[in-house]
Structure 1
């Protein structure tokens, strides 16, 4: 195995191809979106990359995040579908543990049965759960609150105000806090970005809430250069929704989310999804009221006793 601080172009392409193959097989990406964006664009200076190879092929990969000095390092692992059930995952995890130490935290996206068994065998405990929720957009969507001013995000005009609001709302969030213009810009450059699906609510000209939607699929594409072009039915995502804490309890969250759902329905999308922390009771309550139900879970594990 190789431990790298930076990935060269060839290795980067092989890792992205591995992730694409695993996503196609499992129906869910094995790494978080921010990790995938860093792999594509760079900028993840504190990360380490553990590469497992067979000949010229990358068959295993671990992304190790060393930035959180309080909670400890976190990692996300993937083994190529054609090389599973050979104890390679355990070998990869053992090497990650040597690097990260006994404070290691480990993400399981989708929390598969195999991941649960590995966690049990390695004496890992659950410390965080992120719930994926879904709803049909064929079912009735509540009417928009016309008393709340809602408009599209204006790229190049709203950027600084939106970043300040995002960081205020999510100041304690592990992934969403402390965003910079670069964090916003790399997402705006993604093929899925659409200003019309990035909605903001204002009061007296001040941005007080937002709902950023995202569309997965629905167009011909390929996940990696070695794949054939294909398409699948689109699904919309409430990518990020937030309300200024000073304006909470006044209906902005419900109104801006309904606006996002209606936007996606107008685009001909028939299913919507979102992710929410299991301990965010107010958000869970809102989403359930809007017709969302649980679909799956991402679980963060930690070595017991650490």
Structure 2
């Protein structure tokens, strides 16, 4: 097994991922982890071929404070043991703790996890709601609070301080660095106008709502419509500003931006399944469950 894919394999893998997304209604790879496979920073990479065609692949990479993996099998080659073989090789190559994602909670992944003694350790809920232009109310801000867009080159340090305090418990979002935010700013989908900051009278950052727009829906679901979709990418409030209603106001502000400025009609977000407070907040804002991504964990004590 190699540690990285070749450029030719990445091109094939992107085609294969699109085929799997169309068949399953869910993308097999996440925007958070797959860039490591694409840029060569993965720690394991395995490609299985059927003749001259890529039939399946798996890779592992650092995700926050842990090592995580994703795998995919071509829809035309399923039911032949390729998924099990890929998972076997991945587990043999990587000792100790490993988290393996199943996007859309695929039934085949449930069976594979059971056979390999993996524990269902994390659920990431995907919630969605429709939005219409002009339909959302003005957000209600506490006295002395105003909203402004993120300013590249000036707001990075303040955002890092608030974000890392707000998500100190989170395996991926906590511990962000200056390199992380600068890399995000360089991405094609970065839009500072949709990165909304709630600040006080002295321009101190109290909270933020970072929105994104995706040209194609990564998880339309079976029979779903592939349309542009908005995302509540990250929403955070400084711990010292909790209890002032900023979470709800920032949510509304971001939804208004996505509906009225970006022009999307569906908004998605991801939230930890055990984050009851956040789930209730988003449900009050009209979000309902669309799908669930599951991370299976191998215990570090296992060989």
Please report the TM-score for the alignment, with normalisation by the length of structure 2.
Answer: 0.86
Deviation at 1:73, TM superposition (A): 4.1
Within 5 Å, which residues of 2 pair with 1:33-48?
33-42=31-40, 44=41, 47-48=43-44
CA contact (8 A) 1:73 1:100 kept: no
* 1:167 pairs with one of 164, 169, 173: 164
* 1:197 pairs with one of 194, 198, 203: 194
Aligned to 2:258: 264
Provide structure 1 residue ranges, at least 5 long, that are not aligned to the other structure: 220-230
* 1:54 pairs with one of 50, 55, 63: 50
Residue 87 of structure 2 is aligned to residue 93 of structure 1? yes
CA-based RMSD: 2.5
CA contact (8 A) 1:152 1:199 kept: yes
Can you list the C-alpha shifts for 1:56-95, whole angstroms capped at 9, x where unaligned? 43322212236788xx743211112222221100111111
The secondary structure found in structure 1 opposite 2:293 is strand
Deviation at 1:104, TM superposition (A): 3.3
CA contact (8 A) 1:134 1:271 kept: yes
Deviation at 1:22, TM superposition (A): 2.0
Can you list the C-alpha shifts for 1:45-66, whole angstroms capped at 9, x where unaligned? 6x22122223443322212236
Distance 1:78 1:125 in 2: 19
* 1:282 pairs with one of 274, 277, 282: 277
Deviation at 1:254, TM superposition (A): 0.9
Distance 2:62 2:154 in 1: 34
Within 5 Å, which residues of 2 pair with 1:119-158?
119-138=113-132, 140-147=135-142, 148-158=145-155
Please report the TM-score for the alignment, with normalisation by the length of structure 1.
Answer: 0.85
Residue 210 of structure 2 is aligned to residue 212 of structure 1? yes
Deviation at 1:218, TM superposition (A): 6.5
Distance 2:192 2:97 in 1: 41
CA contact (8 A) 1:51 1:60 kept: yes
Aligned to 2:287: 292
Distance 2:84 2:254 in 1: 42
The secondary structure found in structure 2 opposite 1:273 is strand
Provide structure 2 residue ranges, at least 5 long, that are not aligned to the other structure: 218-224
Distance 1:218 1:253 in 2: 27
Aligned to 2:10: 12
Distance 1:273 1:67 in 2: 21
Can you list the C-alpha shifts for 1:33-53, whole angstroms capped at 9, x where unaligned? 1222223344x36x2212222
Distance 1:38 1:96 in 2: 16
